[in-house]
Every structure is written in C-alpha cells, then in structure tokens.
Amino acid sequence: MSSLTLRNLKKRFGRVDVIRGVTLDVADGEFVVFVGPSGCGKSTLLRMISGLEDVTDGELRIGNRVVNEVQPAKRGVAMVFQSYALYPHLNVRDNMGFGLKVRKVPAAERQQRVSEAAALLKLDALLDRFPRELSGGQRQRVAIGRAIVGHPDVFLFDEPLSNLDAELRVHMRSEIAALHKRLGNTMIYVTHDQVEAMTLADKIVVLRDGRIEQVGSPRELYEQPDNIFVAQFIGSPKMNILPAGSAAGFGAQPAGAVSVGVRPEHLSLVAPEKGQIGGKVVISEYTGASSLLHIRLDSGETCLVVVDGDAPEADMKVGLLAGTDNLHHFDTDGMALRKSRLLM
C-alpha cells in the first residue's frame, strides 16, 4: 500500500508544456478520480506516475520514495488502459500470468496469484478461454486481473470502461468499487463519465490545460465549486451562468458578483406571475424520468431547467424560482464568492 505525492510536476513535449506544475497528495488507500476536458493532460499525468513518461521537472513520490528516476517495473504501480490489448494467442490464464512470467516469478506462485485474481474477478470458469471467446466486460476484467496479479501498491486506470456499453459500464463500475473495498489499494482513475467520477471518488481532481483547477470530494465540487470552470464541468446538464443583472430576480447578491450560477436541477417552474424571473420555453426535451427545458429568459439569456413529470410545451410562458441556497456567485475573474464570506 502506498501514498502518492506530486510536487510541482511538469511535463514538456519538445516546446509544448503539457503538465504545468501539478501538486497533489493522494493518501494511502484513497480512490482519486481525474477529470478534465480532452487534451488537458490526464493520461500524461498517469503515464508519468507509472513511469511510461519521464518527468521534466518537479518531484514524484510513491510512499516515501522519490521515483522520478525509478524504472516502471520497480515503482509498484500497475496501469489498466482503455484499450486493454490482451494477447490474442494466449488464454485468460496466460494473459493474466504473462507479466509474472517475464519477471521470472516461479510457476507455482504464478498459478497461485492468477487463481486468486480469477476468483476475485469471477473469471475462474473462463481461464482456458481465448480473448476472442470473451465479452467486452470479461476482457476488461482480464485486463484488471493482469494488473492485480502483480500485487501493485497503486492502481492507475485510464478510462477503463469507455469501450463498454451503458449497462456493462454500470455493472463494471460497481465491480471496481467493490474491488477497491476488498483490496484497499490506492487507485487513480481517469474518466469522462460524470457518474463514474461522482460515485467512485473519495476525491476528484479537476484538471484544465495541464493545471489543477480544484481538488475535493464529489460533494464539495458539486456544492462549492471554486470557479465557473469547475462549476460547469461538474454536474450534468451543466450549471447555468447568468449575468448578475439578469439573475437579480433570484435575490440579493453579494458585492462584486458579476455572474450567478444555478444548476438546471435547482430551478423550478411556476406560473409566469409567480416566478422570480420569467421566460418562455424554447425546446422541451423529454428524456423519460424527466424533461430538459431550454428557456429563453425575458432578459434574453437561455437557461436550462430539469423538471420531473409533466413538462410545459414549447412557446409556453413560465416563471422560474431558485432557492438562495442553490445560487453561486462569481466575481469578474470567474472566482466563486463564498457563502461564508457573504454572511459577514
């Protein structure tokens, strides 16, 4: 088991700065999720931790050991990729044991470790099959098994479920959560999936352009985003950001508020004359359990609202209500004006 410490970590490819100074502490046994837009450096950061990419600058520690110069096999980390790349000509048993064989682990111990991992991942009955004879979810489990048999201190997952269909993703997501509970290892997990991030993470790291925007528990990021970027990145559909003037009807605003954020699920619809602000339905998207409404506000902005049950149709006039607890205020730089500060 191991903690992880990143100190002002940087990565440059030629003249391009890809990781621009990342400082992060990961506790022993913690489940940390990296999220951020495509190209922000999530995979690069994982590859630096695993040793597949070297570190341009800064310090990387696994446990108490600085590992900047330590070769990948000696770091005690295992990585699971999106494209799980199993060996097609090897059966499940040999795919899982391959890395151990390369490392000259004796046959009896190899056997033992593969059996343990297979039991954990419910692959016992599939050990003699070849990858082509497995479903996507089973292949993904073999890829995870290959990581487990090495008994790593730290697991790194780079979008491991993104090739699976929706139902299988949900299933594998709960399996990964259960695996973390059983093994208790430190895990770092990259995903584009909001629900995976929110449900799996002890701690979410939001990255943008090679830098950390905010680190916090799923609830902290959802309830107290530090800035507009995080506010709109966490949560789906994303938070509405309105100019303070247009949102004045929602209530008092702190000094310095330039924009106001409110999540689509935190707005409710009422009759036009009862709303704090008014608007008209432009599009009404029925999604089953709820509907997503695009509302053109009287001030001209567009605002998204999620409603359960019956939704008004396009062209209907509506009123909007927001509870003051659900409003986020941002200054001219897009930084949050915190509630605690507002009370003073």
Ligand X SMILES: Nc1ncnc2c1ncn2[C@@H]1O[C@H](COP(=O)(O)OP(=O)(O)OP(=O)(O)O)[C@@H](O)[C@H]1O
The residues of the shown chain that bind Mg ion, judged by CB under 5 A, are 43
Name the binder of 110 from ligand X, Mg ion, none, CB < 5-8 A by kind. none
**Measured distance CA(344)–CA(159) in Å, rounded:** 43
Give the chain's radius of gyration (CA, Å): 24
Among 32, 35, 44, 148, binds ligand X (CB under 6 A): 44
Among 40, 239, 247, 322, binds ligand X (CB under 6 A): 40
SS3 at position 50: helix
Rule CB under 6 A: which of 225-244 touch ligand X? none
Q: Residue 81 or 130: which CB sits closer to ligand X?
A: 81
Among 38, 287, 332, 340, binds ligand X (CB under 6 A): 38
**Measured distance CA(11)–CA(22) in Å, rounded:** 10
Q: How far is the CB of 18 from ligand X (least distance, A)?
A: 4
Please list, in sequence order, all residues whose beta carbon lies within 8 angstroms of the beta carbon of residue 152, skipping any fewer than 6 positions away.
76, 77, 78, 185
50 binds ligand X (CB under 6 A): no
Contacts with ligand X, 10-29, as mask; x by CB under 6 A: ---x--x-x-----------
**Measured distance CA(242)–CA(302) in Å, rounded:** 9
Q: How far is the CB of 336 from Mg ion (least distance, A)?
A: 28
Tokens coding 195: 């629900």
Nearest to 261 by CA among 293, 301, 296, 300: 301
Name the binder of 4 from ligand X, Mg ion, none, CB < 5-8 A by kind. none
Q: How far is the CB of 47 from ligand X (least distance, A)?
A: 7
CA 139 to chain centre: 22
Taking a C-beta distance cutoff of 8 angstroms, is the pair 318, 270 a contact?
yes
Q: Residue 36 or 235: which CB sits closer to ligand X?
A: 36
- Helix, strand, coil distribution of the chain in percent, nearest 5: 30, 30, 35
Among 32, 42, 150, 161, binds ligand X (CB under 6 A): 42
Q: How far is the CB of 21 from ligand X (least distance, A)?
A: 15
Q: Residue 43 or 284: which CB sits closer to Mg ion?
A: 43
Q: How far is the CB of 42 from ligand X (least distance, A)?
A: 4
DSSP state of 249: G
With CB under 6 A as the rule, give the number of residues binding ligand X.
11
Quote the strand ranges of 70-140, DSSP E: 77-80
Helix axes 92-102 and 136-148, enclosed angle (nearest 10): 30
Which residue's C-beta sits nearest to Mg ion?
43
Name the binder of 71 from Mg ion, ligand X, none, CB < 5-8 A by kind. none
41 binds ligand X (CB under 6 A): yes
Bridge-based pairing state of the strands 65-66 and 302-308: unpaired
Residue length of the chain: 344
87 binds ligand X (CB under 6 A): no
Q: How far is the CB of 155 from ligand X (least distance, A)?
A: 17
Q: Residue 41 or 279: which CB sits closer to ligand X?
A: 41
> What angle is formed at CA 195 by the lines to CA 194 and CA 200, rounded to 5 degrees?
110
Among 1, 12, 39, 87, binds ligand X (CB under 6 A): 39
Please list, in sequence order, all residues whose beta carbon lies within 8 angstroms of the beta carbon of residue 344, skipping any fewer than 6 positions away.
none
Name the binder of 278 from ligand X, Mg ion, none, CB < 5-8 A by kind. none
Task: Report the interface residues with ligand X, using CB under 6 A.
Answer: 13, 16, 18, 36, 38-44
